[in-house]
Amino acid sequence: MPYAHYVKPGSTVKLKDLDPSGHGGLEKEEADFRRHEMGQRVEEMQELMYAANMNSLLLVLQGCDTSGKDGSIKSILSYVNVQSCRVASFKQPTHLEASHDFLWRAHEQVPALGGMTIFNRSHYEDVLVVRVHDLVSKQVCKKRYEQINHFEELLADSGTIIVKFFLHISKDEQEKRLLAREEDADKSWKLSVGDWSERELWKDYQKAFTDALEACSTDCAPWYVVPANHKWFRDLAIMEALETTLKPYRQTWHEHLKEVGVERKKELEAYRQKNNIKT
Amino acid sequence: MPYAHYVKPGSTVKLKDLDPSGHGGLEKEEADFRRHEMGQRVEEMQELMYAANMNSLLLVLQGCDTSGKDGSIKSILSYVNVQSCRVASFKQPTHLEASHDFLWRAHEQVPALGGMTIFNRSHYEDVLVVRVHDLVSKQVCKKRYEQINHFEELLADSGTIIVKFFLHISKDEQEKRLLAREEDADKSWKLSVGDWSERELWKDYQKAFTDALEACSTDCAPWYVVPANHKWFRDLAIMEALETTLKPYRQTWHEHLKEVGVERKKELEAYRQKNNIKT
């Protein structure tokens, strides 16, 4: 059983039945060890992907405040080549962004061939926060699920590998994390009334997440629900899903690069011979 | 004495007199230990900078092939919050980029307030590679030094802290690194005739670097020459210069955030009282 819950396309999602405190029967030490092993394999595959230049990787992270998006990104980035990986954060849209369709700013940020982009929040905000605050009708929201699916299919058809993670924490865990922020005097600039007022809408958010997960988990762009109360388990679950996602491409990239390498070696030898360069 | 050579504005630079194998009398273990300590202080200051939103940081990396730009970036990124740090790589200009003045694409990538951007190569390519290959005249090049200085002054006047590193390796060390690439069959796709043909222009590059360092090391945007034959010393020297660069701002950011924090705490308490929320 994979550590993260794979949302099978077309299936229903019951967040209540998915334990945010899940830890796969592991303790932190063992989990860290496994994550590190997976991380090294992911690192190797991302390097191959970059070099082969045949695919790109789009990783989407969603979750409520304090669910650990930043921490997850830090964990992922410690294993990938940051040269070919970018993080795109989606905040309140700028005036220019809001003057376009909701996918415009996301499209601008998708990875080029060989590259990897992590979306810290994403185009899904436009079926989450705006829905919870009644800024769009249910009908518009439904239409947007479709538009998202078409958009992600377009990317996939052009070689983008897509994987999406919902960081699942409990309401109690969120309170604990928010209060911890207050205890650190050096961090009090981070405090925000918004964090607490959004908590009042917890149920609405869970419903909005559920609907998006159900409507937009597709074969080419699946959602995973990640138990995220334990940070170390969250990081392990994400790394495992990443490895699972990239593995089917490994052989193709590797073989392609072998061919390129033979070609390059020939060129270099010809150049040396011609210019009489000895090494 | 700082580990990297600070190019005093207006001074002459003799790269030949700066030992690329310099290591400050340290061994790797001690250097790694010091770098780690400095790194943690840099991490704390970058976080303060992000939160205070009063300044931004632009870090420029230049150096010939295999000089270790990627490795340096990896070392820096392991200490900064990658959420607020971006890497911008400057390759052969696209058609659109080449249809603008040479600073256009660099300007687009400079950090916003609070942010940090690392330039992997930069607008300096336009006084380096183009000059070595005689794509622009000496006169144009001279003009560009001025234009670069004006551009960097504009950024500095708007709160951008600028620090620039030239990674200094020896010609022998470069050959060693290029040959090492060939020994790894899995890396042979990386081989390129260009790496070897550019080597023939080594002296021209050293001259072009020297001229740029002399013309464009200013008070608001100084150059550092980093001995880079030893990777561990290179990383230490960069981290030290980074710490030195950020330190003068630390107190201001800290005090500003303390004030913000007091304000936020008040707001939060008022909100809780009004809504009768107990924690």
Locus of tokens 């002399």: B214
Please report, for the domain that includes residue B107, its CATH number.
Answer: 3.40.50.300
Q: Tell me which chain A residue has its CA closest to the CA of residue B74.
A: A82
State how beta strands B5-6 and B223-227 pair: antiparallel
b/e map B137-150, b = 16+ CB within 10 Å: eeeebeebbebbbe
Which of B175, B193, B261 is the closest to A188 by Cβ? B261
In a domain, B161, yes or no: yes
Q: What is the mean pLDDT of residues B99-128?
A: 97
Q: Could you tell me if residue B95 is inside a domain? A: yes
Strand partners, A117: A58, A86
pTM here is: 0.87
- Express each pLDDT in A84-137 by its tens digit: 888 999 999 999 999 999 999 999 999 999 999 999 999 999 999 999 999 999
Question: With an 8 Å Cβ cutoff, are A193 and B268 in contact?
Answer: yes
Partnered with residue A58 across adjacent β-strands are: A117, A162
A257 is a domain residue: no
Nearest CA in chain B to A90: B83
Q: Note whether B279 contacts A179, CB cutoff 8 Å.
A: yes
In this prediction, residue B213 carries a pLDDT of: 98
DSSP SS3 for B162: strand
A197 with B271: Cβ contact below 8 A: yes
> Does residue A275 lie within any of the structural domains?
no
CA B226 to chain A, closest CA, distance in angstroms equals 21
* Residue B233 in tokens: 């010393």
Does a structural domain hold residue B265?
A: no
- How many other C-beta atoms lie within 10 A of the C-beta of residue A95? 6
* B256 occurs within a structural domain: no
Residue B125: pLDDT over 90? yes
Please provide the average confidence, as pLDDT, over all residues in chain B.
Answer: 95
Query: Are A264 and B82 within 8 A, CB to CB?
Result: no
Q: What is the mean pLDDT of residues B57-68?
A: 96
CB contact under 8 A, B268 and A78: no
Tokens at A199, concatenated = 């908590």
Q: How many CB pairs under 8 A join A and B?
A: 97
Q: How many whole angstroms separate alpha carbon A119 and alpha carbon A109?
A: 9
Q: Where in the sequence is the domain holding B17, given as residue range(s)?
A: 5-251
Residue in A232, A192, A1, A219 with CA at minimum distance from that of residue B270: A192
Say if residue B181's pLDDT is above 90. no
pLDDT at residue number B185: 78
Q: Which long-range contacts (CB under 8 A, 24 or more apart) does B199-207 make?
A: B199/B171, B199/B174, B199/B175, B201/B132, B201/B133, B202/B64, B202/B171, B204/B132, B205/B64, B205/B128, B205/B132, B206/B15
Interface of A with B (CB under 8 A): 51, 70, 73-74, 77-78, 81-83, 86-87, 89, 120, 175, 179, 182, 185-193, 196-197, 257, 260-262, 264-265, 267-268, 271-272, 277, 279
Q: Which helix (H) or strand (E) holds B102?
A: none
Residue A71 lies inside a defined structural domain of this protein: yes
Q: What is the pLDDT along chain A (279 residues), one digit of tens a residue?
A: 899 999 999 999 999 999 999 999 999 999 999 999 999 999 999 999 999 999 999 999 999 999 999 999 989 988 998 778 889 999 999 999 999 999 999 999 999 999 999 999 999 999 999 999 999 999 999 999 999 999 999 999 999 999 999 999 999 999 999 998 888 877 888 888 998 999 999 999 999 999 999 999 999 999 999 999 999 999 999 999 999 999 999 999 999 999 999 999 999 999 989 988 777
Overall number of domains in chain B: 1
Q: What is the pLDDT of residue B219?
A: 98
Establish if A272 belongs to a structural domain.
no
Q: Is the ipTM of this complex over 0.90?
A: no
